[in-house]
Structures are given as structure tokens and as C-alpha cells.
Chain A
Amino acid sequence: MIEMLGYDFIRTAMLGTTAIGVVCAYLGVYVVLRRIVFVGATLAQISSAGIALGILTGWSPNAWSLALSFLAVLFFSHPSFGERWPQDATLGVLFTVSGAAAVLLVAHTARGNEEVVHLVQGNLLAMTASEARWLAASFAGILAVHVALLKEFLYLSFDPMMAATQGYRAGRWNLAFYVLLGVAIALAIKAIGILLMFAFLVIPASLGLTVTRRLGGVIATAMTSAALAVFIGIWLSYRYDFPSAPMIIAVMGGLLAVGGAWRAVWTRS
């Protein structure tokens, strides 16, 4: 394990992926509590279409990803979203169409198939040091803003109607929440891929909700388990020569299974 940490590229991958994982695990607590998991998945897929557009045009995949995410965020946070047409159906359409678009957009590029694989499962070990530092700084910023506004986001998530009676503009806070989520997803996708990004949003929060009973405990468990999964996952992928992102997800799945079993035993006793 110590030997692994001697390699620059592994330390770099750990820094970038841990920054993304810990912050996405924190955001994921809100995603799961607000029951908008599929919104997260769809945002990730739309972001990947933006990355694909960037690869095709040769102009800043991150900018394309951010732009498409922002448009999607405006749509998802609009009060009329889900009013006239079932929300799930709209998300299903966007998820599949943007997923197909991402594949089609890079299909005829120089490294078409490889790009598709990277979009889905990422390529953590190809992360550069400057990219990892930039990701760490960006995600620290997202976390700082979210923590500073924790009580407002919590209140508006739990009971937007009551909050509105006290002067909170529910629509604006909803938009702010989605913008932070959209930016996090858009920045993460290119580095870690859709699969791992989505896993960070869902699995650690689910583990936190399974094993603890207070919001602080849920958040702490989610963030710690994400960091732990990155470390163990990268070590296992190094040790047994497996792709890193799926291995990190497998570790998170394993931690959730252990947490679920512990909860079942604890509840019975």
C-alpha cells in the first residue's frame, strides 16, 4: 500500500478523486433526501454530452459541459417542471437522448470508442497534477458555499412552503441548489466519468442514512466513506490490476452492504 503512494500519478488521482468524492457525497445527502436521484443521473448524462461536444469541436469540453448543465439546471429548477408531464418521463427522455448524443458525437472522432469508455467510467489515473489541484480547489469552493448556506438549503428542501411564508424565495434557492449541483457534476464528469460521479452522489448518502440517525452523522458518514472508498478502491485496482472507477464503486457498494447488514442486526437486537 505504501509502495503505491510512491507514484505521483496515483497520489494525483487520489487527490482529485477524493476531492470530488467527498464533496459529491455531501451533495448526495441532499440529492437522496430530496428524492431527486434521477435528476442527478440525468444531469450527469447531459454533462457527458457536453464533454462529447467539446471533444468533437476541439473547444473546451468543460465549458460545453458547464453550459449544457446550466441549461438543464434552469429547466429542472423551474417551478413548472413536472407539472404538466410526469417528471420521471421527462428525465427518462433526457437521460437516454443525451446518453445517445454523447456516444454519437464522439463516434467518428480519432479515438471514438476510447472516448466513450472514458465518458462512462472515467480515467482517474490520467489526471494531471494541475487538473487535480484545480479540481480540489473548485470542489472545496463548492463545499464552502454549500456549508455556508446549509440551514437555508435544509429548510428549503424539507419544507419550502413554510420557508416561503417567512420570506424565502423558494424558486431562487432551488435554482442555487441546482446550479451548485450542476457545476459539481459538470466539473467531475470529464475526470471521473458518469458512473463514478453518479455513484458518489447516491451510495455514500445511502450508507449514511442506513447507519446513522442524525443529519450530521449522515453527512460525516457519507463523506468519510467516500474518501475511504477512493483510497481502498485505487489500492485494489493497483494491486489486482482492475480499472479504478468501477473498483471504487464496488468498494462503496461493499461498504453499503456491510452497513445494511449491521443495521439489520442492530435493529433486530
Chain B
Amino acid sequence: MNRATVPLVRFDRVALGYGEGLIVDDLSFAVEGGDFLGIVGPNGAGKSTILKAMLGILRPVAGKVVYGAEVHRDLRFGYVPQRYALDDIYPLSVRAIVRMARYARAGLLRRPGADDERAVDRALQAIDIHGLGDRRFGELSGGQRQRALIARALATGANFLVLDEPTDGMDLKSTHGILGIMRRLHRDEGITVVFVSHQLNEVANYVDELLVIDEGRYDWGPVEEVLTAEHLRRIYDVPVVVDRVAGSLVVVVER
């Protein structure tokens, strides 16, 4: 089997939920090494839940999540949470937060060493925030916080980034900056990237593949296949128009 075609993660008819309710049902898709996948859907569609299952934190109610560990033994996830999920009250510098990524490697009862500090430096430099290392995390702007969290994910030594709503609530400039970083990491470093968003227009112009999900329906595939009026009408149940404006794909509801 060709290494490039072996999925790093494969969802096989997966059902996900908490307690008695199902949020996602009968979901099948795969992420291969070097993929750049956007998971798009409205709030409550189960996007973050899918990420949790992908990261192995949430066990499927039915179906299975299969990891290509035999082929890709060096699969290392780097998770970037929603920045709103982290409490501003913590008196921690950016550097201290990025250093957390090295705690697991340092091991129990040991403090991170010189190698870990170098990894932190490299991660901060990779995201162009080395100058922010001593700033308090809670005092940063939304875009700067997101960069710090991406740096932390990189400091784990990740080759598979998983980002939860990285551009939510950001202005155009910051959104463009964050999506640009993700694309650069994917293109230049060969990092597999999966991220979720509820902004279809925003995601469509950056990723190679899309998983669009809404009210139990989903569509998954290359952007040019998923992003058609017919496909999107089936998912969202409204007539839509897909067009290009100044070279960028734009999706609008038909009036």
C-alpha cells in the first residue's frame, strides 16, 4: 500500500455524543498525511466533538476511529483549543504556556530542561512571536493568543495540527494572518492540518479538503467537489450560489 494513501486517522461509521443524545451519527471520512482539511458547520453541529474523537479524548458511541499507527508510528498531535476556553486570570507568560507542551516529555517530577527551552524558542520563532515570550497571555490580542497556542502545539513536536475555531471572533487581518500561518506550516513544514470553523467562505479558500456538516448531513472531499451549489444545497437545505470574486471562492444563499 502506498504510504501517502494510508490514512493517519479514519472515521468508520462513527457516532458521537454525550450522555443519551447523539451529536454526530454514521460519519465516515479520513485524514491522510499532508492533508489540509477544514471541518465546517454551524454552532452545535458537532465539529469540536469530531476533533475530540480524532484526538482520542472522546470514545465513539458506535463505529470506530482508526489510527494508521503501524505505518505512521510518529503520529504526534498538536492541539490548539478555542482561545476562549482558556481563563485569562492565570498569571502566565506566553513562554510559560508554550513550555507546557514539553511537560509530558519532561516526565513526572522533572522540570523541562535546556532541550525543551530550545524547542520553545523554535516554536515561538516559527510563529513570529518570539518578542512576546515574556508578555502575559491574558493581555494579548485575540490574534496574538491564537499564535501563542499554535506555537504551543508546535512545541509538542507535532506533525498533525488540530485546531478548534482558530479564527472565531477575529477581524479580517487577524483571520488572514492565522490562516496564512496554518497554510505555511502545511506547505513548508509538511504538517497535516485539520481545523474547524463555522465560516465556509473563510475556510474554502485555504484548505484542500472540506468536511461540511449540518444537522446530521455531511459531505466530505476535495474543495472543488464539495463546494458546488448542488452539494451545499443538500447539506444546508437552502439554495446557494458558488462563485469566484477576485479569484476567491464565495458561497452565498440564493435570493
Contacts and interface: CB of A to CB of B under 8 A. Distances in A.
B55 interface: yes
Interface residues of B, number: 31
Interface in B90-144: 90-93, 96-97, 100-101, 103-104, 106, 108-109, 111-112, 136
Interface residues of A, number: 27
A76 B97 CA distance: 27
A155 B100 contact: yes
B109 A148 contact: yes
Given A162-B79, A165-B57, A155 B103 contact: yes
Nearest to A158: B90
A212 B103 contact: no
B245 interface: no
Interface string A185-213: 00000000000000000000000010011
A121 B103 CA distance: 41
A209 B109 contact: no
A165 B90 contact: no
Interface string A137-178: 000000000001101101100110111111110000000000
A259 to B, nearest CB: 14
Contacts of A151: 100, 103, 106, 111-112
A218 B91 contact: yes
B85 interface: yes
A189 B108 CA distance: 31
A161 B108 contact: no
A158 B137 CA distance: 12
Contacts of B93: 214
A171 to B, nearest CB: 11
Q: Interface SS of chain A: helix, strand, loop or mixed?
A: helix
A35 interface: yes
Given A151-B106, A215-B92, A215-B96, A166 B156 contact: yes
A212 B90 CA distance: 12
B190 interface: no
Contacts of A33: 87, 89-90
A161 B52 CA distance: 9
A35 B91 contact: no
A152 B57 contact: no
B32 to A, nearest CB: 20
Contact of A161 (B81, B100, B101, B109): B81
Nearest to A151: B103
B186 interface: no
A154 to B, nearest CB: 8
A161 B85 contact: yes
A152 B86 contact: no
Contacts, number: 71
A32 B111 CA distance: 24
A162 B100 CA distance: 9
B145 interface: no
A24 B136 CA distance: 26
A217 interface: yes
A134 to B, nearest CB: 26
Nearest to B54: A165
A167 B79 contact: no
Contacts of B47: none
B152 interface: yes
A22 to B, nearest CB: 19
Contact of A165 (B19, B55, B85, B96): B55
B77 interface: yes
Contact of B81 (A83, A159, A167, A218): A159
Nearest to B92: A215
A35 B87 contact: yes
Interface in A27-53: 32-33, 35
Given A148-B109, A151-B111, A159 B136 contact: no
Given A164-B57, A166-B156, A158 B104 contact: no
B55 A209 contact: no
B104 A167 contact: yes
Task: Pick from A33, A35, A83, A168 the residue with the most CB of B within 10 Å.
Answer: A33
A121 to B, nearest CB: 30
27 contacts: A32-B89, A33-B89, A35-B87, A149-B108, A149-B109, A151-B106, A152-B108, A158-B86, A158-B87, A158-B92, A158-B97, A159-B81, A159-B86, A161-B52, A161-B57, A162-B81, A162-B100, A163-B100, A165-B79, A165-B162, A212-B91, A213-B91, A213-B136, A214-B91, A214-B93, A215-B92, A218-B91
Given A166-B156, A214-B93, A215-B92, 18 more contacts: A32-B89, A148-B109, A149-B108, A151-B100, A155-B100, A155-B103, A158-B86, A162-B100, A163-B100, A163-B103, A165-B55, A165-B79, A168-B104, A212-B91, A213-B136, A215-B96, A217-B91, A218-B91
